[in-house]
A and B are shown apart, each in its own frame.
Chain A
Amino acid sequence: MAADLPVLEVRSLGLVPYAAALETQRELVAARQSGAARDQLLLLEHPAVITVGVSGRRHRGHVLASPAQLRDHGIELLDVPRGGDVTFHGPGQLVGYPIIDLKPDRCDVHRYVRDLEEVLIRTVASFGVAAERVAGLTGVWVGDDKLAAIGVRLSRWVTSHGFALNVAPDLDQFSLIVPCGLAGRGVTSLERLTGSVPPRPDLEAVVAAEFARVFNRRIEIRE
Chain B
Amino acid sequence: MPTNVLMPQMGESIAEGTIVRWLKKTGEAVDRDEPLFEISTDKVDAEIPSPVGGVLAAIYAQVGETVPVDSVVAVIGADGETVSAPAEVQDERDEVPAAASPGSVPNVSRSSQSRRLSPVVRKLAAEHEIDTAALVGTGGGGRVTKADVLAYVADRRRSGTDHAALPEAAADRRVEPMSAMRRSIARHMVTSRRTSAHVHTVFEADFSGVAALRAARSESAAAGPAPGYLSYIAKAVADALAAMPVVNASVDGDNVVYHDQVNLGIAVALDWGLIVPVIKQAERLSVDEIDAAIIDLATRARSKRLTPEEVRGGTFTITNPGSFGSVFGMPIINQPQSAILCVGAIEKRPVVVEDAVVARLRAFLTLGFDHRLIDGAAADRFLARVVEALEAGGRPASP
Contact = CB atoms under 8 A, between A and B. Distances in A.
Interface of A: 54-55, 58, 81-84, 105, 107-114, 135-136, 138, 150-156, 161
Interface in B290-306: 304-305
B305 A154 contact: no
A107 B44 CA distance: 12
10 contacts: A55-B40, A82-B45, A83-B45, A84-B45, A108-B12, A110-B12, A150-B43, A152-B45, A153-B44, A153-B46
B44 A152 contact: yes
Interface of B: 10-14, 18, 20-21, 33, 35, 38-47, 49, 63-64, 179, 272, 304-305, 307-308
A136 B307 contact: no
Contacts of A151: 43, 45
Given A54-B20, A81-B38, A107-B308, A153 B45 contact: yes
Contact of B18 (A83, A110, A153): A83
Contact of A113 (B12, B42, B179, B307): B42
A154 B47 contact: yes
B12 A84 contact: no
Summarize A's interface: helix, strand, loop or mixed: mixed
Contacts, number: 83
B11 A108 contact: yes
Contacts of A135: 179, 272
Closest 10 interchain pairs by CB? A83-B40, A108-B11, A154-B46, A138-B43, A109-B44, A155-B47, A110-B11, A109-B10, A152-B44, A153-B45
Contacts of B10: 108-109, 154
A114 B20 contact: no
A115 to B, nearest CB: 8
A109 B20 contact: no
Contacts of B35: 155
Contacts of A112: 44
Contact of B40 (A84, A108, A155): A84
A97 B304 CA distance: 22
Given A54-B40, A135-B272, A110 B304 contact: yes
Contacts of A111: 11-12, 304-305
A105 B306 CA distance: 10
B45 A110 contact: no
Contacts of B39: 83
Contacts of A107: 11, 308
Given A83-B43, A84-B40, A108-B308, 14 more contacts: A54-B20, A54-B40, A83-B39, A83-B40, A109-B41, A110-B13, A111-B11, A111-B304, A111-B305, A113-B43, A113-B44, A136-B179, A138-B42, A156-B49
